[in-house]
Amino acid sequence: MVLPEKEKIQDRLSGNIVLSSLSRKPGEAVLASTQYITGIFESHSVYANSDLNILSTDTRDAFNIFKVGGTRIFIYINGEYQILGMPSLFVMHYNGSDWYYKINDDVIKISDDANSSNHQLSLRFESLKHKQYDILVATQINSQTLGAEYQYAFDNDTVKISPDPQQLMAEKMPDLGYKADFSNHDGGQIDLSDEKMVFNQDLEFPTNQVIAKYHDVTNFTVQTGIFSDNLRLEDQDETRQAHAKNINDLLKSFHLATNNSGKKDLVERTNLILPWFAHDALVHLMSPHGLEQFSGAAWGTRDVSQGPTELFLATEHYDEVRKIITNVYSHQFVENGNWPQWFMFDQYSGIYADESHGDVIIWPMKVVADCLAVTNDVTILQERLPYMSHETQNMTNKDEKLIDHLVKQINYIENNFLYDTAVSAYGDGDWDDTLQPADASQKQEMASTWTEELTIEVFRKMAHVLEKGSELQERCAALADRMYEDFKKYFMQADTLPGFIKMNSNHEVQPIIYPGDQKTGINYRLLPLSQGVLSQVLTGPEVRNALQIIKENLLYADGVRLMDRPAQYHGGVSKIFKRAEQSANFGREIGLLYVHAHIRYAEAIAANGDKNEAWRLRDLVNPINLTDRVPNADIRQANVYFSSSDADFDTRYEAQEQYNQLAKQSVNVKGGWRLYSSGPGIFIGALLQSIMTLRESGKNNTLPFDSDVYITMD
């Protein structure tokens, strides 16, 4: 049978996550809601912890087959209630959206906005021809987080919803509950109840919906917020302008201009996407979850040390970086000096991962080094901070200076060297956590080339930014030298850096992922090669060799891939690498083009002096009119960060058998998970600091590599 050629389609609903208030303070609670083009006006509405405090359900149905999740609107036409689904026109803003429906001789406009001055959502219905309709507004309550015994309190046109007293939410945030006011409407009466209003009976399987039934209305507004806030209706235009200004202020009014017609599209694309990526970066920091990754609520120790930190450093918001540092170091384990892979940074701080990858230990120190490098504010080293106790799962009463936390951190790194070398043990993985060892014993026998490079870089930078001759400065300098010598000895035994090494007690080394590797079948791994350049562990001819290997073996039309072929799939049975051999989905890191790593490669190209090529590579991450630059790219939402570019293979077996077709562009590539990632912050930081080399605020700067493109920035 011959299958028809796949058409270019978008198989994900266009959508956005909106945040209330204008806060950019790391760790501060906000109200969030998710909106989708198909008439899902509010879903996953949640204040503060985005996993455990959820008011309304989300939708996990990419084709909008199920019509219950979140908030939906039904309009009575032709003798029946019909759901408002796909609109005639959909317009997104940073804090809300507009849906326009052409119905007979009328146009219905639905708008939904997150407020700017309080934690509230404002859902508006309007007949542009001022016609009257009977309307149902239905919101499904999330009984998983609020509990099966959550409580309604109906009062005229208002409903209050409180969590089950037995729920963790009620214990950790006893004053938190939600309320919705339906009273603001122009027209007849309103009935407010649960789903019995529609079904006229008790259901065997309740749908947990709050139903508002409007009679003969031309317009109405539903205001939803938290108990502690007074509901108030903001002017919509002013609210949207306030959110837009907040994004602009975050980016310091960054703007590109050119008189060169050949670069006009590139400049315009960049100006358009940066505010949206800044918005996505704020969602990642303030309310961690995404359009596909519904759960979140935590800071990944590695992730928060990259995206938010690099965004704030690049835009000179140093107070926010300081807050990240103090928050992260307050979650360091008092018992051993390490961190969990992720931790909840709010009232639920006792919830965190039980393990962490081998590179996680170094990332908080990198934030301190990067911050000191640009601020020279060494007072932060004297700030007293608590620890997290892994034993009690609570913050300690004991606090110590940040500099003491750093010493404890370094002690952990030294205590986890392989044997008597200065080579860090692999632990539970590195950045590409699909490559966790299947054999647990390998955690203390393997080492990641990438982690080793990163650690050397951070120790060198710490030695540079600390007071010369101080005990900590000398210790960092000595460790950097020791690790570099052992790096040359154990990792640089061939022309190409291996992905990993395995070492026995006699210091005999076996490379893993290298040209001719018979065990994995994989020849090249991106991360050691690009990070070797960025960390300046490689020099001169070594840099040129590494970049040439990447260009010849890993660079595709849509970007650079993590390895030259996927890990072997054996039906989900792990033999070498855990997740890479278990996942049936050929996407994200499994699919090998993870955008975050692609941006790092662009930085490596910039570090080698080719700023124009670095900007071209960075532009492959910009989804605006992407098919003009990547002919085999599927259509994708153009105002949101996508975390991967996934080859459109139907199965893992097809992917490994036909992987060479990807280089020929005979396989389409799709946008992966959207919005929730450290990538948007990394993108902005890389653009401003690595590619455009903007180190200080200034106006009318000219790009050092392209004299006909100009920058303005407050």
Answer yes or no: are the C-beta atoms of 685 and 601 closer than 8 Å.
no
- Spell out the residues 6+ positions from residue 101 whose beta carbon is closer than 8 angstroms to its own: 84, 87, 88, 107, 108, 109, 110
Answer yes or no: are the C-beta atoms of 329 and 391 closer than 8 Å.
no
Beta-bridge partner residues of 68: none
Answer yes or no: are the C-beta atoms of 615 and 688 closer than 8 Å.
no
Distance CA 685, CA 371 (A): 13
Q: Which is the catalytic residue, given 164, 433, 517, 619? A: 433
The alpha carbon torsion through 356, 360, 361, 366 (nearest 10 deg) reads -170
**Quick one: which of 611, 637, 615, 612 has its CA closest to 626?**
637
Distance CA 522, CA 567 (A): 7
Residue 71 has φ and ψ, to the nearest 5°, of -105, 125
Residue-by-residue DSSP string for 283-304: HHHHS---SS-----EEEHHHH
Distance CA 209, CA 141 (A): 6
433 is catalytic: yes
Distance CA 150, CA 162 (A): 6
Answer yes or no: are the C-beta atoms of 630 and 646 closer than 8 Å.
no
Distance CA 285, CA 320 (A): 11
Residue 245 has φ and ψ, to the nearest 5°, of -65, -40
- Give the SS3 label for residue 234: coil
Distance CA 294, CA 17 (A): 11
Using alpha carbons only, give the angle 493, 499, 504 rounded to the nearest 5 degrees: 65
Chain-centroid distance of CA 578 in Å reads 23
Amino acid, single-letter form, for residue 61? D
For the chain, report the end-to-end CA distance as a whole number of angstroms. Answer: 61
Q: Give the number of other CB atoms < 10 A from CB of residue 327.
A: 17
Distance CA 525, CA 430 (A): 13
Return the structure tokens found at 711. Answer: 């920058």
Alpha helices (H) along 522-610:
526-534, 541-553, 578-582, 595-607
Cα radius of gyration (the chain)? 27
Secondary structure E strands in 52-88: 71-77, 80-83
The alpha carbon torsion through 338, 342, 345, 351 (nearest 10 deg) reads -90
Active site members: 433
